[in-house]
Amino acid sequence: MRVKVQVLLLLPFLVAFELGSCANPPPGQFKSIFNFGNSLSDTGNYLAVGAPAFPFIGQLPYGQTFFNRATGRASDGRLIIDFIAESLGLPFLPPYLKLVEGPFVKTGVDFAVFGATALDAKFFVDRNLGPLLITTDSLSVQLGWFKKWKSSICTTKWECDDYFKTSLFVVGEIGGNDYNVPLLFTSGSSLEQVRSFVPAVIEAIINATSALIEEGAVNLLVPGNLPIGCIPAYLTAYQGSNQTTINPRTGCMDAFNAFSQYHNRLLIRALYRLRKKYPHTRIMYADFYGASIRFYNMPQFFGKGFFLSLNIIKNDTALTMIYAISTSGFSRESLLTACCGGGGGPFNFNPNRVCGAPGSTVCKETTTHVSWDGVHLTDAAYRYMAKGVINGPFTFPPLWFPIL
């Protein structure tokens, strides 16, 4: 008898990565984490200086889902860096600006700052964009903080090298704000004009990564940019623009996503060259674009209530396997809509009444939303991205690998 197998819905790669826990790394693989970047991974540095340009980050509803209080994280809960720390059994990274005078923290420190750019402030001042910067604590400034902090971690080269062998250095995501400044905060910049920034941004990221290697880092994770064409702030700013072509499947703007992919291609090539220069290191690329574009292509596979059931129906002629999924994942209707915002059209983003401001509202179920405040993502979205980065397949070489 010939047996016919029908698979109505078969996504084994997705199932493997989404049903498991965030990670099951070898015990003690990384004993500390040092993180650099912007609001995608700032655990409280910007809040430590009073969050002058965005005070709402210091109050609820920010932090409501996981921490039940505002911590300075630009989300309703955890960030990708938090999930990485959790997967390693490490505490959440404390912000450097709350530890400037100590105490020594052996498990790592976060140097990322809300609004930070890869390029120094002078780059933007020279282009009359300086007043639009949220912070001047760029990637090179954060690197300077690390060098200062290093003296409290170790005193001799041998001691530092030994310590950093079991440390994970995360450089980014960084660069997104270098593009946000001209694209979101001005009305005269085009994608083609800002495209000329990309090589300089990549060079800044590579220079910082090289500097960390010279300081003793051997395991480095460098993420790429998100698909900015799916971000409600961009969709709001450019709706109806001649730069906009909406993808019928995702609802995102193709030209802006192509821009993110251009940045990521240049970064991947630069990291390849860096590996050649430092063959003793493990330099990993984290594909944040790939880890998040899945939400817009297949939203039903993510969010609260996802499950997979296997029903086998057997008769004399066929063996049918039916994979069933819940329909309570990320909502297609709210996929491109900010959970927390002040109206402003179909994407619930209003730059004059942002999340946390008087008159803004919060959705009832954050787990059905990808976007938290129109720029940053929800705890639920970051959780699924983190799974893809930690467990694969969105890190190359894979993150969980024997320490060099």
Q: Indicate which residues carry an active-site annotation.
A: 39, 373, 376
Q: Is 3 exposed, middle or buried (0-12, 13-18, 19+ CB in 10 A)?
A: exposed
* CA distances from residue 257 to 122, 245, 289 in whole angstroms, order as listed: 27, 11, 9
The amino acid that residue 257 corresponds to is N
Q: Let me know: does 110 contact 35? Beta carbons within 8 Å.
A: yes
Q: Let me know: does 339 contact 375? Beta carbons within 8 Å.
A: no
* CA distances from residue 116 to 17, 36, 166, 210, 371 in whole angstroms, order as listed: 31, 10, 27, 19, 20
Provide DSSP, 290-313.
HHHHHHHH-GGGSSTT--EEEEEE
Q: Is 7 exposed, middle or buried (0-12, 13-18, 19+ CB in 10 A)?
A: exposed
Provide DSSP, 246-259.
B-TTT-SBHHHHHH
| Residue 353 CB coordination number (10 Å) | 16
By three-state DSSP, how is residue 286 classified? strand
* CA distances from residue 42 to 71, 99, 184, 279, 360 in whole angstroms, order as listed: 10, 14, 21, 30, 23
Q: Let me know: does 63 contact 73? Beta carbons within 8 Å.
A: yes
C-alpha 23/C-alpha 178 separation (Å) is 32
Under 8 Å CB-to-CB from 173, ≥6 apart: which residues? 37, 38, 40, 41, 223, 224, 225, 226, 288
CA 171 to mean position of chain CA atoms: 11
C-alpha 367/C-alpha 159 separation (Å) is 44
109, β-bridge pairs: 34
Scan for tokens 């960390």, then name that residue.
Answer: 212
